[in-house]
Amino acid sequence: MTTWFWMDADKNEHGPIAPDKLLMLIRQGEIFRETLVRKDSSSWCRSDQINGLWDNAAKPYKTYMCVECGHQIDRPPSRCAKCERRVEKANEKMVTPNLSRMKAKSEPSKDSAGKSGAGKSTAKGPETAKPGTTQSAATKTGGTTATSAAAPGSLRSVVKKAISLRDRFLPKSRDTKR
């Protein structure tokens, strides 16, 4: 089985850990893009140089909750750390991580045009979810909600385009009530 090691900011080595635990540490904000990691006995490199690592960490994942106390547990069968019960079946929950705030500490934030934060949007809206929490559809658009001017590729522009195509290609129904 593959094992991973990682080095914290104080140059302390941690590990070995399983690949799924490495992904969880990224989602929890323990490992950043510039954090040094290594697989088995290979050499150290930045975590953002590992092909697919951050892409996999950004994918929705399943968590398991103890049916007795609601505490998050490892995949069943396992033991709940909070109520100390043996759990054979657990409640499942899909979580969409928000890794947009997990940029390298030294990197300036960039907007969609690739420019530094000077031209960054300051749209008001719901706060983005922390890593490891669920998100509403409004906050899945990169941390800001769309304002009246829909950006290309935003949810609003996609919906407008779909409506215009529907109206253009589908025949109008006789019943005009909606």
Domain chopping of the chain, boundaries: 1-59, 60-105
Q: Are 28 and 132 in contact (CB under 8 A)?
A: yes
Amino acid 146: pLDDT: 37
Q: Which CATH superfamily is domain 1-59 in?
A: GYF domain (3.30.1490.40)
Amino acid 91: pLDDT: 93
What is the C-alpha to C-alpha distance for residues 35 and 167, in angstroms, rounded to an integer?
Answer: 51
Structure tokens at 117: 């934060």
What is the C-alpha to C-alpha distance for residues 67 and 83, in angstroms, rounded to an integer?
Answer: 10
Q: What is the distance, to the nearest Å, from the Cα of residue 12 to the centroid of all Cα atoms in its chain?
A: 26
Q: What is the pTM of this model?
A: 0.52
Segments in the chain below pLDDT 50: 104-150, 178
Amino acid 79: pLDDT: 94
Please write the tens of the pLDDT for every residue from 100-131: 655 544 444 444 444 444 433 333 333 444 44
Amino acid 173: pLDDT: 58
Which 8-state DSSP code applies to residue 172? P
